[in-house]
A and B are shown apart, each in its own frame.
Chain A
Amino acid sequence: MRRPLAAACIWIALLAVPFWLPLMGGYTDLATRALIYAIAASGLNLLLGYTGGLSFGHAAYFGLGAYGAGLCLIHVAPSLPLAILAGTVLGGIAGILIGPLVMRRKGIYFSMITIAFGQMFYFIAVRWNGLTGGEDGLTGFSRVPVQIGGHAVMLGPERFYYLVLAVFALVMAVIWQILRSPLGHGFVAVRENPTRLRFLGVAVERQIWVAFAISAFIAALAGALNALLTGFASPDNLGWQLSGSFVVICVLGGMRSVWGPFLGAAIFIVAQDYLSSITQNWMSFIGLIFILAVLFFPQGLLGFSRLKASR
């Protein structure tokens, strides 16, 4: 019964972040960003860790979520829920459309194609100046007040943190439910042995497509929240470096664990924030995190046992 206890402790700590983080020299937006990355990485991990699809292009869906939310606020209506929905749907639909082009490919080939499609969205964002603001990114929107029971409630850093925390909890619940359902069992079976699954009469490609689409939806949801956090959507939100970061977050935390991406995201965001405050060369150090994670923590900080069993 140690696991539920540990989970309870994590949730309590997360609920209390605005109280203890400033005491430790942090700021609430940092925790919000960590949660947003945790959402995106958890979504990716459904594909990466559980289905075995090595997507290196998930920033594309994150970025589309960010642009979708921003564009909705600017051009459609000043509504926060609508913006989040618009971003999620935009990125999710892109995932549904790209899925069939990659689902038949495996291993390295899958990675290459997902990277390349990620770049496609990147260049669309950079070049479609009139709509996206080009290289400078999309600006001119901010968190508008939310209507709750007839009151306009402004979401400051703390309130926004709790909104993101609620979304994170929801996403974790969805992932948890998927993993205990036939759908999730099918994902794991694809990772373990697609041939066996095919000869049980299961359409393996369709299973991968569904995993791809769900993970794109979740990444896009995170992207939409990120745009609302920073008040801006940038081409970097779609870039290959962010895609790689999501993967390394999953690896660092542990790809075979539901909490792995969260742990990886927390470490990654804190390290990034600290490094960029002390050195110009923070990119080198992030790169170093990649290399060290691969060489020394290939199974992640959480969840050794099952992976070992398969070797």
Chain B
Amino acid sequence: MSLLKLENVSRRFGALQALKPLSLSVAPGELRAIIGPNGAGKTTLFNLISGFFPPSSGTISFAGEPITAVTPSALVRRGIIRTFQITQVFLSLTVRENFRVAAEAALGLQLRPWISRATRAQVEAKVEELAEMSRLGPKLDRTVGEMSHGDQRVVEVGIALSRRPRLLLLDEPTAGMGDEETSHMTDFIRRLNKDQGITILFVEHDMAIVFGIADRITVLDNGALLAEGSAAEISANPRVQEAYLGAAENAA
């Protein structure tokens, strides 16, 4: 059975067909990469799955239940959490404060003007847990806005983990990172998938990462599904080579 299932989902913006009808299925525990040239519709696909806007046609279901027109916050409660291409964190707060907001949101405390000592301990435990998972313990009291880009991305994923995601959507998690930062992030993603068992869907441009860690790869081109398969299948697929990899090599 699949965790996430898209059937004939499409999206248009006025005259622009950003995504042609496509079907997609992601199995529980899978680490799935979405690749494709710029404008292929990758971020549109993410926005549809995370409820940023509804599809123009088609249905989306999650764990067997339809989620086609469900709001972002309701999707979050069901366990679909995302990060953004442009890092979305609370910049002028410290890492600890970022995690604390996330933890309080996860525990549903957001409107409480007062919490008991026990609840506060629960929040702090959650903060520690997030620090542990993201390995940001030593940097907990740094202001996020003053940290490196790579660390900010890790903070963002750490925040996303507060909701115990069943499906984590990562939009270009390593964009703009140096080599060392990239390998940290890659390890982090693999750890979340293998150790925590979180199903992950990620958009990525770096082919070394994609072919290095993804269980399966979905290729989009021009708003349509071009191919889907294992790393070996995709790299052997002539259509992919022609439309995407070849073009990328030519460009390089």
Chain B residues whose CB sits within 8 angstroms of the CB of A192 once the complex forms: 90-93
Report the contact-size class of chain A (Cβ under 8 Å from the partner).
Answer: 20 to 34
Chain B residues whose CB sits within 8 angstroms of the CB of A310 once the complex forms: 91-92, 145
A80 to B154, CA, bound (A): 56
Evaluate contact between A199 and B112: CB separation under 8 angstroms.
no
Question: Does A177 interact with chain B (Cβ within 8 Å)?
Answer: yes
A56 to B111, CA, bound (A): 25
Evaluate contact between B93 and A207: CB separation under 8 angstroms.
no
Smallest CB-CB separation from B103: which chain A residue? A182
Partner of A306, one of B84, B92, B104: B92
Smallest CB-CB separation from B77: which chain A residue? A201
Stretch of A148-156, A183-191, A245-253, A291-299 on the interface side: A183-191
Evaluate contact between B90 and A202: CB separation under 8 angstroms.
no
Evaluate contact between A200 and B111: CB separation under 8 angstroms.
no
Question: Does A206 interact with chain B (Cβ within 8 Å)?
Answer: yes
Evaluate contact between A193 and B102: CB separation under 8 angstroms.
no
Evaluate contact between A195 and B111: CB separation under 8 angstroms.
no
Evaluate contact between B110 and A186: CB separation under 8 angstroms.
yes
Evaluate contact between A199 and B88: CB separation under 8 angstroms.
yes
**Which among A181, A183, A195, A200 has the highest number of chain B CB atoms within 10 Å?**
A200
Partner of A193, one of B77, B81, B88, B112: B88
A177 to B112, CA, bound (A): 11
Evaluate contact between B90 and A200: CB separation under 8 angstroms.
no
Which B103-158 residues sit within 8 Å CB-CB of chain A? 104-106, 109-115, 123, 143, 145-146, 156
Evaluate contact between A196 and B112: CB separation under 8 angstroms.
no
- The number of chain B residues with a CB under 8 A from chain A is 37
Evaluate contact between B113 and A200: CB separation under 8 angstroms.
no
Question: Does B216 interact with chain A (Cβ within 8 Å)?
Answer: no
Question: Does B50 interact with chain A (Cβ within 8 Å)?
Answer: yes
Query: Can you name 12 A-B pairs with beta carbons within 8 Å?
Result: A181-B113, A181-B114, A182-B104, A183-B113, A186-B101, A186-B110, A188-B90, A188-B101, A200-B101, A200-B105, A201-B163, A203-B110
Chain A residues whose CB sits within 8 angstroms of the CB of B82 once the complex forms: 199
A102 to B91, CA, bound (A): 25
Partner of A201, one of B73, B92, B146: B73
Evaluate contact between B102 and A200: CB separation under 8 angstroms.
yes
Chain A residues whose CB sits within 8 angstroms of the CB of B42 once the complex forms: none
Chain B nearest CB from A183 CB (Å) reads 5
Partner of A178, one of B93, B105, B106, B113: B113
Evaluate contact between A183 and B93: CB separation under 8 angstroms.
no
Using known A-B contacts A198-B72, A203-B73, determine if residue A183 contacts B110 with beta carbons closer than 8 Å.
Answer: yes
Which A271-311 residues sit within 8 Å CB-CB of chain B? 306-307, 309-311
Evaluate contact between A185 and B104: CB separation under 8 angstroms.
yes
**Which among A182, A206, A307 has the highest number of chain B CB atoms within 10 Å?**
A182
Evaluate contact between A206 and B92: CB separation under 8 angstroms.
no
Excluding A181-B113, A193-B88, A199-B82, 4 further A-B contacts by CB distance (< 8 Å) are A189-B93, A189-B101, A193-B90, A200-B163
A184 to B110, CA, bound (A): 8
**Which among B73, B84, B89, B97 has the highest number of chain A CB atoms within 10 Å?**
B73
Question: Does B76 interact with chain A (Cβ within 8 Å)?
Answer: yes
Question: Does B218 interact with chain A (Cβ within 8 Å)?
Answer: no
Chain A nearest CB from B33 CB (Å) reads 21
Chain A nearest CB from B248 CB (Å) reads 31
A204 to B27, CA, bound (A): 32
Smallest CB-CB separation from B107: which chain A residue? A182
Question: Does B60 interact with chain A (Cβ within 8 Å)?
Answer: no
Question: Does A210 interact with chain B (Cβ within 8 Å)?
Answer: yes
Chain B residues whose CB sits within 8 angstroms of the CB of A306 once the complex forms: 92
Evaluate contact between A196 and B109: CB separation under 8 angstroms.
no
Chain A residues whose CB sits within 8 angstroms of the CB of B104 once the complex forms: 182, 185-186
Evaluate contact between B115 and A182: CB separation under 8 angstroms.
yes
Smallest CB-CB separation from B156: which chain A residue? A196
